[in-house]
Amino acid sequence: MSTGMNTAPEPLREVVYRELRTELVNGTIGFDQRLTEPKLSTRFGISRTPIREALTMLCADGLLRREEYGFSAVRPSIPRIRDLYELRITLELQGITRAIADPTIRHDRTILDDELVRWRALALDPPAQEPGFVERDEEFHVAVLRASGNNELVASLLSVNSRIRHVRMYDFMVNGRIDTSIAEHIRILEELRAGNLPEARTLLHQHIGESLDVVLDRVTRAITALSLANITD
């Protein structure tokens, strides 16, 4: 009798979601292309229910929008992204700023230690260059803010993350920032654990994008590359 543990198969909606998400981010699915449940059901050889669930998830990510007939890829709005990035910077820096202003506020050491273990492990075995890394990155930023002890700041950041996630996927895929991000995460965590709050705040600001112009330049290059991929395919 086998003593091994059976691994449950991945839900079909997750399989479809992951594959379509990658195609949307790398430009395989163009902005003028329509995705429909019948066609996708035929393509994947499965019923429409998991297809519908995957499409709903992609709409929630901001990668798709529902049309009169089917779904189409969302072209990001640079002005809206600028506003959201500005809000993201304000929220994340405030987590450290409040601790600098009030010495009685201490970052949760357990959260910081857990994150440091996780990111040091990733530095030894970096993940593939794929859009799903954004979710790991979001978890880091949420954890750091949560460690500062203000749950309302965390709730606001979660909302912002959901609205810029699709653009950040383009950024990671086109600009190749995964290795750099891992190293920067580790440095931020080390400074926070050491109690060097001003240095940690500076590093976090630089990591997110000290200049909105730099952030928008990266995002614009990512979106331009995606648009060119759509044209040439």
Closest of 98, 222, 108, 83 to residue 166, by C-alpha = 222
**Strand positions, DSSP E, the chain:** 64-66, 71-73
Q: What is the pLDDT along the chain (233 residues), one digit of tens a residue?
A: 444 455 677 899 999 998 998 888 767 888 888 999 999 999 999 999 999 999 999 998 888 999 988 999 888 778 888 888 889 999 999 999 999 999 999 999 999 999 999 999 999 998 877 777 888 999 999 999 999 999 999 999 998 988 888 777 777 666 667 888 899 999 999 999 999 999 999 999 999 886 567 667 766 776 666 666 555 55
Taking the C-alpha atoms of residue 62 and residue 43, their distance in angstroms, rounded to an integer, is 23
pTM of the model: 0.74
127, 68 contact by CB (below 8 A): no
Query: Which residue matches tokens 């910081």?
Result: 112
